[in-house]
């Protein structure tokens, strides 16, 4: 039998190492300049991109120095790239009239993308309650889905995995209860949630209102408009109680909203515009306050003397 050794083709050392090098290079992350027109927003992105003063300043910085931290994106099946982190940077590039921006392209699944997207935005200083609420909800669901995979659990070893909300709480330096309270805000109708963002309704009352049915929240909007008032914590708790009992009507809402709040009964507010017309323009708020106290003391002494006569 003839030897078949002469038919075997051996890979040269150069070809072998160039192939391994090219494979390693292909797996290595690179920063790529991608046209803005090929970058698309993340699906259900919970963080708002607003053309405010801060955005204008960012655009000016981009004009002067460029993008210092690359965005992160992943390829889309339909073409282009889905932004994971860098939505505000992209908008700043648009305002700075740039055509491209530096991007790190990663091939990652939906849950990994959600976690990166949320974590990169939670580092910002100013985050609206609605943004935090939907971000926590998205990340919570992503972590739960990851935990449901057998290759990501340690059930075979008999160890207990931490709850998803415990993981998030530890990462952001909060409590599991507070994470769940933020997620409750996602049950508010958009109009009431906007009032929370605008600080017209405080966080704690908003959590209580989130337990109202959608139609009850719509009626509450009308009651708040009629009474020109927003619920305190105790009022929100009573609204929730009536809802649980099936007794929350718009008349009940109006009756509760028309109550004078204890804080309003004890508080007297004098605005600067009201006071300024009585004082020289050079007076500071402290000088105005001292003068008012002296006048009140004089008025009180005079009134006391009159009552003693």
CATH of residue 94's domain is 3.90.1530.30
Same domain, 70 and 134: no
In a domain, 88, yes or no: yes
Taking a C-beta distance cutoff of 8 angstroms, is the pair 227, 258 a contact? yes
If asked whether residues 32 and 102 sit together in one domain, one would say yes
Scanning the structure block, which residue is given the tokens 């991608």? 34
Residues linked to residue 43 through DSSP beta bridges, in sequence order: none
Are residues 135 and 88 part of one domain? no
Count of structural domains, the chain:
3
Q: What are phi and psi of 14, to 5 degrees?
A: -60, -45
Which pLDDT does position 39 carry in this prediction? 97
Three-state DSSP at 309 gives: coil
In order along the chain (309 residues), what is the average pLDDT of each group of 10 residues?
51 53 58 96 92 93 93 95 96 95 95 94 87 95 76 46 86 93 97 96 97 97 94 96 96 91 52 72 77 82 67
Residue 180 and residue 211 in one domain: no
Query: According to the model, what pLDDT value does residue 10 have?
Result: 55
Residue 175 lies in a domain: yes
CA 165/CA 172 separation, integer angstroms: 11
| Rounded Cα–Cα distance for residues 130 and 138 (Å) | 12
Any domain includes 94? yes
The answer to the question of residue 71 being in a domain is: yes
- 268 located within any domain: no
Shared domain check, 64 and 134: no
Answer whether 121's CB lies under 8 Å from 71's CB: no
Q: What pLDDT, on a 0 to 100 scale, did the predictor assign at position 27?
A: 53
Q: Using an 8 Å Cβ cutoff, are 200 and 229 in contact?
A: no
Which residue, chain included where needed, has tokens 């009626």?
A: 219
How high is the pLDDT of residue 111?
Answer: 94
Give dist(CA 172, CA 140) in Å, integer.
Answer: 13
The closest alpha carbon to 38, from 97, 79, 84, belongs to 79
User: What is the CA angle 94-108-112, rounded to 5?
Assistant: 90
Token pair in block for residue 36: 């803005």
pLDDT the model gives residue 157? 42
What pLDDT does residue 11 have? 52
Residue 207 lies in a domain: yes
Task: Give the structural domain span for 216.
Answer: 199-259
Give the pLDDT confidence score for residue 153 in this predicted structure.
43
Whose tokens are 């070893």? That residue is 157
CA distances, 109 to each of 102, 152, 165, 197 (Å): 21, 14, 21, 31
Q: Is residue 174 part of a domain?
A: yes
């Amino acid at each position: 039998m003839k030897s078949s050794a002469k038919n075997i083709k051996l890979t040269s050392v150069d070809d072998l190492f160039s192939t391994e090098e090219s494979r390693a290079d292909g797996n290595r992350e690179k920063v790529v300049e991608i046209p803005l027109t090929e970058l698309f927003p993340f699906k259900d992105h919970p963080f708002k991109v607003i053309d405010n003063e801060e955005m204008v300043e960012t655009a000016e910085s981009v004009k002067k120095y460029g993008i210092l931290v690359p965005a992160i994106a992943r390829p889309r099946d339909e073409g282009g790239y889905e932004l994971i982190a860098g939505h505000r940077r992209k908008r700043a590039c648009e305002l700075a009239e740039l055509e491209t921006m530096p991007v790190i392209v990663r091939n990652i699944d939906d849950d990994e993308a959600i976690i990166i997207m949320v974590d990169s935005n939670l580092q910002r200083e100013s985050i609206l309650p609605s943004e935090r609420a939907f971000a926590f909800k998205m990340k919570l669901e992503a972590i739960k889905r990851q935990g449901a995979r057998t290759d990501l659990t340690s059930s075979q070893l008999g160890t207990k995995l931490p709850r998803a909300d415990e993981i998030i709480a530890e990462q952001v330096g909060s409590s599991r209860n507070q994470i769940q309270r933020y997620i409750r805000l996602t049950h508010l109708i958009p109009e009431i949630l906007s009032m929370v963002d605008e600080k017209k309704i405080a966080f704690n009352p908003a959590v209580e209102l989130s337990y109202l049915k959608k139609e009850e929240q719509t009626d509450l909007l009308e009651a708040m408009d009629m009474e020109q008032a927003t619920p305190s914590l105790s009022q929100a708790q009573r609204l929730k109680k009536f809802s649980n009992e099936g007794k929350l009507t718009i008349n009940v809402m109006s009756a509760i909203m028309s109550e004078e709040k204890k804080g309003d009964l004890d508080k007297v507010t004098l605005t600067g515009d009201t006071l300024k017309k009585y004082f020289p323009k050079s007076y500071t708020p402290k000088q105005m306050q001292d003068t008012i106290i002296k006048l009140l003391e004089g008025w009180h002494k005079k009134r006391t003397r009159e009552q003693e006569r």
